[in-house]
Amino acid sequence: MKPLPLKRGSRMLHRSRSNTTHDTHYLFGTSAIAMESGRGCYQVHDVLLHSASFSPVQGLAIGGGVQVASLVSSLASREREPLLFARASFSGKLGGGAHLGGFALAARTSVSPSARERSTFPVSLGLGGAQLTLGNDRAHATISIGGAMDDRGMKDRPLFGLAGLVHLTDHFCLITEHWQLPFGPDGYRVHGYGVRFTHRAMALDAAFAVNRELAAGLLAGVSGTRAGLQAPALGEISGPRWWPANEAGATHGRATGPLAMMPPARRLFPTEG
């Protein structure tokens, strides 16, 4: 008797069979290339930051994340809130290699009540903007323009981002990403550079971020960084990532994602008090 063919499990049926899902996002944020309907990704950054994103329908992706250290601290102290964020994005293809989309992100930083009055960074913040991506999943560039608000009100300066991704081989690509965020007296600039190795259901990024505060100690920071861990999840893994250390020797993780999603967590979302 001829043996019956074995059916693949749900995990095999729903995993990515191409690089498309990995290639829709950069180091911090996403492009306007839509994630395939029914696809999702789970990301672990610097061990502590966990986030997930899912596309229920073509052109729409929703997700969020939590920083584990702030969650444990909030449960132990019963005073501060954990670092949390939620994100939604939408996009569609215009034709001729052009994609138009937008995103909105809301986050709450982990600051104890006693430290909020002297904190230089907002407790709550929101980011939003429009995106234009030119290219395809093999090579593309994205311009993001938008605004921001925090618990002090709307910011009077724009949010601006520029990012690009290019494949050198089917499974190896270079990524660069640059953001100007309207926080602080002079704004906050962060520049990211990295490489990504992808293979079906997983992606591994090795990257570093630098801004004006880190520029002087960049080389020492890169050599002193630590890596995050990987964890299985919704079908895709993106991590770990390496980030430079600051003057005190602390490493920086990424808060997301597809900002996957946010600028470096330890810099933009500090735990104070």
- pLDDT (average), residues 33-52: 83
Close Cβ partners of 87 (under 8 Å, ≥ 6 residues apart) = 53, 62, 63, 64, 103, 104, 105, 106, 256, 257, 258, 259, 261
Residue 262's pLDDT is what? 34
Residue 114's pLDDT is what? 54
Residue 111's pLDDT is what? 59
Q: What tens digit of pLDDT does each residue of 176-216 get?
A: 999 998 887 777 888 999 999 987 778 888 888 887 654 43
Residue 119's pLDDT is what? 52
Number of helices (H) and strands (E) in the chain: give both, helices first: 5, 13
Q: Is the pLDDT of residue 257 over 70?
A: no
Q: DSSP states of 116-152 as a string? A: TTT-SS-SEEEEEEEEEEEEETTEEEEEEEEEEEETT
Q: Is the pLDDT of residue 160 over 90?
A: yes
Yes or no: say if 65 and 82 are a contact pair by the CB < 8 Å rule.
Answer: no
Percent of the chain past pLDDT 90, that is, above it, reads 30
Residue 115's pLDDT is what? 52
- Give the sign of the dihedral formed by CA 47, CA 256, CA 208, CA 184: negative
The three-class DSSP label of residue 208 is: strand
Residue 12's pLDDT is what? 30
Residue 241's pLDDT is what? 35
- pLDDT (average), residues 29-52: 85
Close Cβ partners of 255 (under 8 Å, ≥ 6 residues apart) = 45, 49, 51, 65, 67, 83, 85, 107, 261, 262, 263, 264, 265, 268, 269
21, amino acid identity: T
Confidence of residue 14 (pLDDT cuts 50, 70, 90): very low
Query: What values do phi and psi take at 271, rounded to 5?
Result: -100, 110
Q: What tens digit of pLDDT does each residue of 79-121 get?
A: 667 888 999 999 999 988 999 999 999 988 765 555 555 555 5
Residue 156's pLDDT is what? 87
Q: Is the pLDDT of residue 76 over 60?
A: yes
Q: Is the pLDDT of residue 250 over 50?
A: no
Residue among 188, 183, 185 nearest 209 (CA): 188
119 vs 229, higher pLDDT:
119
Residue 111 is classified by DSSP as: B
Residue among 58, 59, 15 nearest 203 (CA): 15
Confidence of residue 228 (pLDDT cuts 50, 70, 90): very low
Give the integer Cα–Cα distance in Å for 264 and 4.
51
> What is this structure's pTM?
0.68
Q: Is the pLDDT of residue 50 over 80?
A: yes
Residue 172 is classified by DSSP as: E
- pLDDT (average), residues 62-81: 81
59 vs 248, higher pLDDT:
59
What's the chain's Rg over C-alpha atoms?
19
Give the integer Cα–Cα distance in Å for 168 and 175.
11
Yes or no: say if 246 and 31 are a contact pair by the CB < 8 Å rule.
Answer: no
Other beta carbons within 10 Å of 92: 13
